[in-house]
Chains A and B, each alone.
Chain A
Amino acid sequence: MTTVDLGMPGTRIAYGSGNLYEETPFPEHARAELKNTQMRANIGHATHTIRGKRARVVGELPDWQDLRDAGSAIKQEVGARLPELLEQFEANVTARGGVVHWARDAAEANRIVTDLVRAKGVEEVIKVKSMATQEIGLNEHLEGQGIKAHETDLAELIVQLGEDKPSHILVPAIHKNRDEIREIFSRRMPGTGKELTNEPAVLAEAARSYLREKFLDTTVAISGANFGIAETGTLTVVESEGNGRMCLTLPKTLITVMGVEKLLPRFSDLEVFTQLLPRSSTGERMNPYTSMWTGVTEGDGPEEFHLILLDNGRSAVLGDPAGRSALHCIRCSACLNVCPVYEHAGGHAYGSTYPGPIGAILSPQLTGVAAEQNNSLPYASSLCGRCYEVCPVKIDIPSILVHLRDEDIRTKHGQRDQAATQQRSTVIEARQAEAEAAGVTPEPAGHPAEAKKKKVPSEMDLLMKAAGTVMSSGTRMGLAERALPLGRGALKPFGGAKWLPGMVGGWTQERDIPVPPNQSFRNWWKNNGENTQQRVAEDLGDTQLAVSAGGEVPASSLAGEIHQHAAWGAEAQAVAKLRAERDQAEGATTKDSPATSTGEREGEQNA
């Protein structure tokens, strides 16, 4: 479990399973969700509000960029030292009276939790909001085993009572407005009557009374964890409502499911993350409740503490140098709140527990890009880069999206058959296991290797091949552009084009194509390039221009402070450095050139 896969022969990579799949290709799923205008209005309103709050509290910190760097560096250290840190963590949790379990995947984790709950002889448990248990589908699994799990986070409760799915990491019911919530409560919450209005305070009070009974009656609680401290064995949950504190302190038995990447090496690392997380997620300076516990303490809190350390594909992610920083994620959801694709399509469109930009990289990495329709997720982005800009741990989401697109193309071209087959069989086996556990006959599955094999080049392949041939030669570009007058002649009578065939028909679904120009710049330049004087004379007439001040050595933007944090990708940083060096070395020549040239031009004009 603690070994990182290094691509050694014979090592079977453990891919993740559970609620991590996109069932319908993202474009189709999104098309359906886009029709839900109420959902879009709710999400648009909520994300813009959180976005503004985040921007204000982040702006207050002069060292925000340094904090991001620190957060990123600590998480990088966790990835590099994971085996050693996990063993240290296990030893410390055990030494303080906790029991540590290891789960390779969702099925193992679910089985361990079920056995623990059964051993306590109870049929109901209370839960703290947790992404890890969403990911493994714990509630559904427990339901099948006759155990009822009650969500105690307000938004999770809304989703659970509404028999809905979460659509946001932090605010699972972000797609619902207060009228819809009132309707769900009055329908599903015992004891609510006509007095229930859509006032937030009234709705919260109804939930509070409902939950209070659960807190007092239930003896087993299940939580996730925001952080696990290797050097002390301490676990941390941060939350806003106090329901977490209740779950973590009142019951006799506490079961925590934690993804292995949630580790931090040192207690002092919390200094960084308790600043980064609340500001990035709720837009608060500090979250209202921060609970920490280490093992068990006699006479204080749960008598029994079980920790399940979950892999479920995380080792596979760690094994990919180009994608592993996705494991830095602290589930703040800042990237969701600024993402225009998320804003319009909503969280459900991503299929998986993890929506938005982070979901578009994390889900296909945990399961492998060939599993189900997860290969459509890396394309669910215009690569605008806002996700990277706000990410508190600097995950280069746009670059990882491109990396996964490349993996998808190579998979489709039959260059990753072995990995793809394994990724597909993981899904099939997990579904069979889940069906057996629930006592249902599993549906027959096709052979994983056959699932998506495409032998014929796709339309996209042909387009890219043709474009690559033309665009890799100036001569061929020039020849292709000779067709422009033809296109212009054909389209001019119609004022443009409104329809294109096949895949590129997606373009004309939303946009007209303008009438092309009568010739390309390249071809025009051949005949007219040298007529500089004529152009300048036409443009300026008698106007005398002020001489350009140009002169100061450029502090190029690429080398500047903004760019250091704005640009994504190591390559851009290398270029920035090169340019800064060049600016320094050539400062003198750059300084003189414009003035000299201007002088020459004026000389010509006067003559």
Chain B
Amino acid sequence: MRIALFATCIVDAMYPKVALATVRVLERLGHEVVFPAGQGCCSQMHVNSGYIEGALPVVRNHVEAFTSADYDVAVAPSGSCVASLGHQQPMVARACGDEDLARGAEEVAARTYELSELLVDVLGVDNAAEQLGSHFPHRITYHPSCHGLRLLGLGDRPTRLLESVDGLELVELPDAQECCGFGGTFSFKNPDVSGAMVDAKIKNIESTGTGLCAGGDSSCQLHMSGAARRRGSQVRTIHLAEILASTRANPLELDEIADLSIPRVHATVTPSAGGAR
């Protein structure tokens, strides 16, 4: 299959290694990954901050980028951004009186899957060790971010994948369904409440004794790991895609987690003459 990657703005700019991990997992299954170059953001930040009109150009850009590209299905390593495509983009277009754009947004959304959803539902992965070669010999816990959980109904897809990773031990997170307190601009418009919420989340992660919390949304992880660091907690976060991408031949080491750059082994590839600028 030809799979279009919607990296999402936060992964593209802050967690490029999560996008790369997504690519590596899909390529391993024999699929071709393309990156529609026009892509930007899903518009969620604007919409959730009340800037519906301001979101319109962002929505239009996404719909154009993913309508003009040639692919079978699209994937994003984020439950929240995928949910936004179906839930918010058509609403924005309709609120601004653009029914054609709304239909286009619905069509793009219907072809776009969250990573675990794509792997389990479409690509038939039920054993990450055997089908993806995933190897990550560590104890971790898992936080199901709200929009994947409640808007997409991902259910146990991510944890089923994690449990099938070679060497991995998954410890249940108490009150896992509680929001981590990120909430987009809520995080800085209501910093005190957001901080109280993440306090509770960090304590719950600490209580698992794993120190490492996996998840499917980098935005929540930026918030959780940043808050943990501020509080002097040892808790770290890791994206589901990074765990699935880790193999015996190319394992992700724990001391690599903190650096957000693309791992050196992949970054040292000599740029082809035409591509470098």
Does A430 sit within 8 A of B, measured CB to CB?
no
Does A442 sit within 8 A of B, measured CB to CB?
no
Does B154 sit within 8 A of A, measured CB to CB?
yes
Contact residues of A between 481 and 526, Cβ < 8 Å to B: 481, 484, 488, 496, 498, 503-507, 509-522, 524-526
Q: Given B196, B260, B266, which contacts A34 in the complex, CB threshold below 8 Å?
A: B196
Does A344 sit within 8 A of B, measured CB to CB?
yes
Q: Are the CB atoms of A385 and B146 closer together than 8 Å?
A: yes
Q: Are the CB atoms of B29 and A597 closer together than 8 Å?
A: yes
Residues of B close to A340: CB separation below 8 A? 178-179, 181, 197, 200
Nearest residue (CB) in B for A560 is B153
Nearest residue (CB) in A for B126 is A549
CA distance A389 to B94 in the complex (A): 25
Q: Are the CB atoms of B155 and A562 closer together than 8 Å?
A: yes
Contact residues of B between 53 and 88, Cβ < 8 Å to A: 54-55, 57-58, 60-61, 65, 72, 83, 85-88
CA distance A526 to B277 in the complex (A): 9
Residues of A close to B223: CB separation below 8 A? 511
Does B176 sit within 8 A of A, measured CB to CB?
no
Assuming the contacts A384-B183, A574-B106, A597-B31, asked whether A517 and B124 have C-beta atoms less than 8 A apart, the reply is no
Q: Are the CB atoms of A468 and B54 closer together than 8 Å?
A: yes
CA distance A465 to B55 in the complex (A): 10
CA distance A567 to B109 in the complex (A): 14
Does A471 sit within 8 A of B, measured CB to CB?
yes
CA distance A515 to B131 in the complex (A): 34
Q: Are the CB atoms of B150 and A543 closer together than 8 Å?
A: no
Instruction: Produce 1/0 per residue, B166-196, CB < 8 A to A.
Output: 0000000000011101111111111111111
Residues of B close to A576: CB separation below 8 A? 86
Contact residues of A between 126 and 153, Cβ < 8 Å to B: none
Q: Given A477, A509, A568, which contacts B87 in the complex, CB threshold below 8 Å?
A: A568
Instruction: Produce 1/0 per residue, B3-35, CB < 8 A to A.
Output: 000010101111111011001100111111101
Q: Given B155, B177, B198, which contacts A557 in the complex, CB threshold below 8 Å?
A: B155
CA distance A146 to B225 in the complex (A): 58
**Top 7 A-B residue pairs of the complex, sorted by shortest distance between their CB atoms:** A382-B183, A550-B124, A405-B50, A506-B188, A511-B226, A541-B249, A384-B179
Residues of B near any A CB (own CB < 8 A):
1, 7, 9, 11-17, 19-20, 23-24, 27-33, 35-41, 43, 45-52, 54-55, 57-58, 60-61, 65, 72, 83, 85-91, 94-95, 106-107, 109-111, 113, 117, 121-127, 130-133, 146-147, 150-155, 157, 177-179, 181-198, 200, 222-223, 225-227, 229-230, 245, 247-250, 258-262, 265-267, 269, 271-272, 275-277
Residues of A near any B CB (own CB < 8 A):
26-27, 30-31, 34, 40, 340-341, 344-345, 378-386, 388-389, 399, 402, 404-409, 460, 464-465, 467-468, 470-477, 480-481, 484, 488, 496, 498, 503-507, 509-522, 524-532, 534-536, 538-543, 545-552, 554-558, 560, 562-563, 566-569, 571-572, 574-576, 578-579, 582, 589-590, 593-594, 597-602
7 extra interface residue pairs, beta carbon distance < 8 Å, beyond A380-B193, A409-B50, A468-B57? A409-B52, A473-B40, A506-B187, A519-B16, A550-B124, A569-B91, A597-B1
12 contacts between A and B (CB under 8 A): A386-B177, A468-B55, A473-B40, A477-B12, A506-B188, A510-B192, A526-B275, A539-B247, A575-B110, A578-B106, A589-B72, A594-B31
